[in-house]
Amino acid sequence: MNVLVALKRVVDAEVSVRPTADGSAVDTANVRMAMNPFDEVALEEAVRWKEHALATEVVVVSCGPSACQDTLRTALAFGADRAVLVQADADLQPLAVAKLLKAVAEREGSGIIVCGKQAIDDDSGQTGQMLAALLGWSQAVAAAKVELGGDGALVTQEIDGGAEVLQLPLPFVLTVDLHLNHPRYPSLPNVLKAKKRPVEVLLPADLGVDVAPRLATVRIAEAPRRRGGGRVADVSELLSKLRDEARVIP
């Protein structure tokens, strides 16, 4: 079975982001980029299926500028079999990405598509759900455990106060949580080999998908700065500060 893993290139989780001067976007100029952490977990899970002969091929796909090839090559070093870049320089919103992923999955004949629970740049948490709806496939979101076998999977999702176990028939879309596994570090020889491996490049038009944005961003603003803390001399001073000064920060 062919497994498709969706990888988004995002600003590295360690970088503190800032809005551009005109407040229209997040400033990504000269900022370190990386694979979305949730997508690393998605990829690790798919590669383990391949290693346990539960999947025949793991194909990774990223939609975005040509620099996404770096992310795809990292995925090849992780153990993915093939990589596809859907190249688009414009901002891609979750619905457009879902349509592109649907088209790639149909082209590949995928039986499972694995996405992250959310991309850490836009925190949308929408793409996997939209993709399942467009395809008419089963879905489970925020998977914390997946037991794949036979003609489907048992998927455990963490919910308030416990866990919910779902049985999904194939084909299905899965979005994964960080608790699912610990992604491996690719070895240096694999990283070097991946640099020479081909990445198939497609355009949205090749897939017949209109990626025009449906939503307009009104403004991007930094969160208000937190004011520094201070020391109190004793408990009674603490209590009076809590009574007279403490307030909820909007």
Residues of the shown chain interacting with ligand AMP in the complex, contacts defined by CB under 6 A: 6-8, 36, 38-39, 42, 62-64, 92, 94, 97, 115-116, 118-119, 122, 124-128
- Closer residue to ligand AMP, CB minimum distance, 119 or 202: 119
**Could you tell me where the DSSP H helices lie in 52-164?**
68-78, 94-108, 127-135
Residue (42 or 148) nearer to ligand AMP, CB:
42
Instruction: State which residue, 200 or 237, has the beta carbon closest to ligand AMP.
Output: 200
Give, in order, the Cα–Cα distances in Å from 245 to each of 237, 240, 249: 11, 8, 12
Q: Which is nearer to ligand AMP, 31 or 238 (CB)?
A: 31
Residue 46 amino acid letter: A
**Residue 7 or 144: which CB sits closer to ligand AMP?**
7
Nearer to ligand AMP, 119 or 153 (CB): 119
In whole angstroms, the minimum distance from the beta carbon of 117 to ligand AMP comes to 7
Element housing 244 (H / E)? helix 235-244
Closest contact distance (angstroms) between CB of 119 and ligand AMP is 4
Rounded Cα distance between 21 and 24, Å, is 8
Q: Which is nearer to ligand AMP, 50 or 193 (CB)?
A: 50
Contact 73, 197 (CB under 8 A): yes
What is the smallest separation between the CB atom of 155 and ligand AMP, expressed in angstroms? Answer: 16
Residue 167 beta carbon to ligand AMP: minimum distance, rounded to whole angstroms: 23
Residues pairing with 163 in the sheet: 158
Q: Residue 122 has what DSSP assignment?
A: T
| Residue in the shown chain whose Cβ atom is closest to ligand AMP | 116
Minimum distance from CB of 185 to ligand AMP (Å)? Answer: 20
Tell me how far, at minimum, the Cβ of 59 lies from ligand AMP, in Å.
12
Contact between 156 and 163 (Cβ < 8 Å): yes
Asked whether the beta carbons of 48 and 40 are under 8 A apart, the reply is no
**Which pairs with CB-CB distance under 8 Å and at least 24 residues apart come from 102-109?**
102/131, 102/134, 102/135, 103/207, 103/208, 103/209, 104/4, 104/61, 104/202, 104/207, 105/4, 105/131, 105/135, 107/207, 108/2, 108/4, 108/59, 109/2
Minimum distance, C-beta of residue 10 to ligand AMP, in the bound complex (Å): 9
Q: Is the separation of the CB atoms in 124 and 94 below 8 Å?
A: yes
